[in-house]
């Protein structure tokens, strides 16, 4: 493992030197700079549930932001993280708390005390339990498919992707064992995953969003994770479950994608997941393009009517570790960069 890590670090640094490009100076004065991993190749915004959660939250809260796909981890060794007025904040929960305090946004203002408690309980179930079973499926069982999605460029990209994915597989398995869930058999882990997904399906029912007719913070969390099952795990048990028996979760994911990610088009779009609310305008997409600033002030209104939008993609980053997992072993490497 140590030899593999050293080889990966050497290959990665060589790739960085070959692919070096002039970057614009970051200015976080009165602007939200979102640091996250680079976009994968399959058109999905992120293979990281936490990065997708954070970016979706910013869109739900209608907060303009600028993406920075440099692959640099936060001082705590986490991803994603933000800079705002030169203040660095990492961990999605702390980022949201920070933005609520500084900018006065609050997606949960319509929730009562009981609903807030339920919302937090659901968030922790998804982030501390369901996340690990999806990570296992992504980086262990379905690694060959994940490797195709990882976005790395350069003369050694295939080698780098192979090294990166297999190192990540080892990290995920070790972290899962430390968590405890990784000590069970694969079948037992998938049993736990199914229980979590069925719980979400039962909680959602026929509602528009998890807590009712209005979007709240928990929806960013749930969507960030379920989107992985919908669009990044082809042929796996999570995908079969969400697109089969738990069809209300698939419709929920489509509903959020169409409203807050109008430029995100997927080859597997299927009218089976559309609700009666879906307008013809909401079915018109433009692909993710090479821009790094986004404001959803011009996207879709509450009725789903198309206005206009600014895409926000930049393929400049090279790392793709899972979000909100401590990566201490990579901190020194990032400092060397």
Handedness of CA 39, 56, 321, 240 (dihedral sign): negative
**CA separation for the pair 297, 309 (Å, rounded):** 8
**Per-residue pLDDT at 115:** 97
pLDDT the model gives residue 313 = 34
Half-sphere exposure of 274 (CA within 13 A, CB side): 13
Cross-strand partners of 68? 35
Question: Phi and psi for 250 in degrees, rounded to 5?
Answer: -65, -40
Tell me the pLDDT of the chain (337 aa) as tens digits. Answer: 556 555 555 555 444 444 433 344 556 677 899 999 989 888 899 999 999 999 999 999 999 999 998 888 898 889 999 999 989 999 999 999 999 999 999 999 999 999 999 999 999 999 999 999 999 999 999 898 988 888 776 677 788 888 988 999 999 999 999 999 999 999 999 999 999 999 999 999 999 999 999 999 999 999 999 999 999 999 999 999 999 999 999 999 999 999 999 988 765 555 444 544 444 444 443 445 434 455 554 443 344 444 333 333 333 333 333 334 344 443 444 444 4
299-320 pLDDT tens trace = 433 444 443 333 333 333 333 3
Query: What distance in Å separates the CA atoms of residue 140 and residue 193, rounded to the nearest whole number?
Result: 15
Residue 128's pLDDT is: 95
Q: Is the dihedral of CA 37, 156, 153, 19 positive or negative?
A: positive
Contact 175, 327 (CB under 8 A): no
The answer to whether the beta carbons of residues 73 and 51 sit under 8 Å apart is: no
Q: Please, is 24 exposed, middle or buried when counting C-beta atoms within 10 Å of its C-beta (0-12, 13-18, 19+)?
A: exposed
**Within 10 Å of residue 77's Cβ, how many Cβ atoms?**
17
Helix (H, G, I), strand (E, B) or coil at 306: strand
Q: Does residue 323 contact residue 50 with C-beta atoms inside 8 Å?
A: yes
**Domains along the sequence of the chain with CATH:** 13-103 (3.40.30.10), 113-261 (1.20.1050.10)
Instruction: Give CA–CA dist 85/27, Å, rounded.
Output: 8
Tell me, what's the pLDDT at 86?
A: 86
94 neighbors 324 (Cβ within 8 angstroms):
no
Q: How many residues belong to the chain? A: 337
* pTM listed for this prediction: 0.76
Q: 110 φ, ψ to 5°? A: -90, 0
């Amino acid at each position: 493992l140590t030899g593999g890590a050293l080889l990966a670090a050497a290959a990665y640094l060589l790739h960085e030197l070959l692919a070096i490009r002039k970057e614009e100076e970051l200015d976080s004065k009165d602007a939200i700079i979102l640091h996250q991993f680079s976009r994968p190749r399959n058109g999905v915004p992120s293979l990281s549930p936490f990065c997708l959660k954070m970016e979706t939250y910013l869109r739900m809260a209608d907060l303009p932001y600028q993406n920075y796909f440099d692959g640099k981890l936060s001082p705590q060794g986490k991803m994603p993280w933000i800079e705002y007025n030169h203040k660095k904040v990492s961990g999605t929960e702390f980022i949201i708390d920070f933005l609520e305090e500084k900018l006065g946004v609050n997606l949960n203002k319509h929730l009562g005390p009981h609903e807030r408690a339920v919302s937090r309980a659901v968030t922790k179930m998804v982030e501390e339990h369901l996340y690990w079973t999806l990570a296992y499926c992504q980086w262990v069982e379905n690694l060959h498919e994940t490797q195709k999605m990882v976005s790395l460029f350069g003369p050694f990209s295939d080698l780098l992707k192979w090294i990166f994915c297999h190192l990540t597989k080892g990290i995920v398995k070790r972290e899962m064992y430390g968590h405890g869930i990784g000590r069970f058999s694969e079948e037992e882990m998938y049993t736990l995953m199914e229980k979590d997904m069925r719980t979400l399906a039962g909680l959602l029912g026929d509602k528009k969003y998890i807590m009712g007719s209005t979007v709240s913070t928990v929806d960013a969390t749930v969507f960030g994770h379920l989107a992985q099952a919908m669009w990044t795990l082809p042929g796996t048990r999570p995908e079969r479950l969400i697109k089969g028996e738990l069809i209300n979760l698939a419709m929920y994911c489509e509903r959020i994608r169409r409203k807050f990610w109008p430029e995100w088009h997927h080859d597997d779009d299927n009218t089976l997941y559309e609700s009666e609310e879906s307008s013809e305008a909401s079915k018109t997409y433009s692909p993710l393009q090479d821009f790094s600033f986004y404001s959803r002030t011009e996207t879709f209104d509450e009725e789903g009517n198309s206005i206009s939008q600014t895409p926000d993609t930049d393929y400049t980053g090279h790392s793709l570790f899972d979000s909100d997992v401590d990566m201490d072993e990579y901190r020194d490497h990032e400092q060397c960069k």
